[in-house]
Amino acid sequence: MGALAASQLQLVQGHGMVLDPVNRSSAWRKGFKVPPNYEDSENFCGGKCGLCGDNYALPQPRPNENGGKYGRGVIVKSYKEGQEIAVKVKVEANHKGYFEFSLCPLSDGKQLESEECFDAHPLKLADGSSRHQLSGTPFQYEVDLKLKLPEGLKCDHCVLRWYWITANNWGTCADGSEALGCGPHEHYRTCSDIRID
């Protein structure tokens, strides 16, 4: 009975995280000398999110933002401008919806990310689309994607943001009908520190 309860608890708690390039909350899992976050797959921030998945109400820098507890400025991967890069996302509880990615180049180690910066640098998948749509199955899996870095963008410190807008709740649609995928949904975000030469 105890094992069953523990396994059910594990399914409820986990959701998703970027493993490559590893996000700030998970960098300790890859051997980087940063504080461990044992809840690194739970960057659920409701509909009003901090820039990197934290509770919006927290003061800046929030834990996963540059200068925060996990945002130590540790560069986890280097790339070339215009390169097609591999990204791996671990989905621990599939809530459907879609992923989007964006970049924010920082001018120095103390600069905070901003929504305007991420909005100015959306990333496309290698196939040219701006979103990766999730199906309802399987429940747990790893998603391997290819992203295209922009030509002409170089940075000693760029922040790669993953943004997952889920679609597993029943709600009211724009036309007034009700259906799965309509209404407010959970949002998840993580940030990874990278370099682009």
pLDDT digits (tens, 9 = 90+) for 167-196: 776 778 889 988 776 777 678 899 999 999
How many residues are there in the chain?
197
Exposed e or buried b for every residue in 57-82, given b needs 16+ CB within 10 A?
eeeebbbbbbebbbbbbeebbebeee
Give residue 173's pLDDT: 84
pLDDT tier at 134 (50, 70, 90 boundaries)?
confident
Give residue 16's pLDDT: 83
Using the predicted structure, report yes or no on whether residue 162 has a pLDDT greater than 90.
yes
The whole-angstrom separation of Cα 180 and Cα 136 is: 12
Strand partners for 20: 88
Give residue 15's pLDDT: 80
Give residue 159's pLDDT: 99
Please list the alpha-helical segments (H only) found in the chain.
Answer: 2-13, 115-120
Phi-psi region at 67: left, alpha or beta (left = phi > 0; alpha = psi -120 to 50) = left
Provide, rounded to the nearest whole percent, the portion of the chain with pLDDT above 70: 85
Please report, to the nearest 10 degrees, the dihedral formed by the alpha carbons of residues 148, 153, 156, 162 taken in order: -40
Superfamily of domain 16-196: chitin-binding protein cbp21 (2.70.50.50)
The whole-angstrom separation of Cα 15 and Cα 145 is: 18
Using the predicted structure, report yes or no on whether residue 12 has a pLDDT greater than 90.
no
The whole-angstrom separation of Cα 23 and Cα 160 is: 9
pTM, rounded to two decimals: 0.86
Q: Which residue is it, tokens 């700030």?
A: 24
HSE, side-chain direction, 13 A CA sphere, residue 188: 28
Burial class (CB in 10 A: 0-12, 13-18, 19+), 6: exposed
Using the predicted structure, report yes or no on whether residue 35 has a pLDDT greater than 50.
yes
Q: Please state, in angstroms and as integers, the Cα–Cα distance from residue 33 to each residue in 66, 71, 89, 101, following that order.
A: 16, 12, 22, 25
Give residue 87's pLDDT: 98
The whole-angstrom separation of Cα 32 and Cα 109 is: 17
Q: Residue 77 is inside which H or E element, if any?
A: strand 77-79
pLDDT tier at 98 (50, 70, 90 boundaries)?
confident
Q: Which amino acid is at 123?
A: L
pLDDT tier at 139 (50, 70, 90 boundaries)?
low
